[in-house]
Amino acid sequence: MNAIDRLGLLAELDHACCELNHGVGTKCEDYPAADFIVLPFGHPEDMVTAVASRELVIPVCAECLQALMGEEWTLLYCFECGASQWVYRPLAKNRYRHHIMWLRGCPDCTNKFGGLYFNDFEGVVAADVEFVTNRRIRNAA
């Protein structure tokens, strides 16, 4: 993300609301955005360089930001429809170690599962998920 795009997002921060799931019966207007998650989409040019053709930008509130930075929650996020679901790791049947799991299709939008992507790439990419205010999600070991 270049500096002009980053500045534009920071200017929109006052009017944005969190787009993540806060439970049944909640309104996004009740959760003002505190930051944006920025996920570049693209392809690797070689082992060192990646080309980002576009970026997914998701506004998040302070509460969701804190959950993403901690070790208790994992966010499941669908690329196709933008649906999200939180998983509380201590009570989950599976052992989740990623902060965000990106889904290509979910039961809400399709009956065809297109894949699962993670926010960490075992050190190949130094900055895989970024926040506009330069916070990074620390990868779980």
- When pLDDT is cut at 50, 70 and 90, the band that residue 57 belongs to is confident
Q: Do residues 29 and 17 make contact, with C-beta atoms less than 8 angstroms apart?
A: yes
Distances (CA, A) of 55 to 12, 25, 47: 16, 30, 20
Q: Do residues 106 and 81 make contact, with C-beta atoms less than 8 angstroms apart?
A: yes
Q: Does a structural domain hold residue 106?
A: yes
Q: What is the CA radius of gyration of the chain?
A: 15
pTM of the prediction?
0.73
Q: Which amino acid is at 91?
A: L
pLDDT value of position 43? 67
Q: If you average pLDDT over every residue of the chain, what do you get?
A: 78
Q: Does a structural domain hold residue 136?
A: no
Q: Does a structural domain hold residue 70?
A: yes
Q: Do residues 18 and 64 make contact, with C-beta atoms less than 8 angstroms apart?
A: yes
Is a pLDDT exceeding 50 seen at residue 8? yes
Q: Does a structural domain hold residue 141?
A: no
Q: Does a structural domain hold residue 140?
A: no
Number of folded domains in the chain? 1
How many CA atoms does the CB half-sphere of 64 hold within 13 Å? 28
Render pLDDT for 68-112 as a digit per residue (tens, 0 to 9).
888 899 999 998 888 999 999 999 998 888 888 888 888 888 777
Percent of all residues in the chain with a pLDDT value above 70, rounded to a whole number: 77
Domain interval for residue 40:
3-131
Q: Does a structural domain hold residue 58?
A: yes
Q: Does a structural domain hold residue 139?
A: no
Q: Does a structural domain hold residue 115?
A: yes
- Specify whether the backbone of 105 is left (phi greater than 0), alpha (psi in -120 to 50) or beta: left
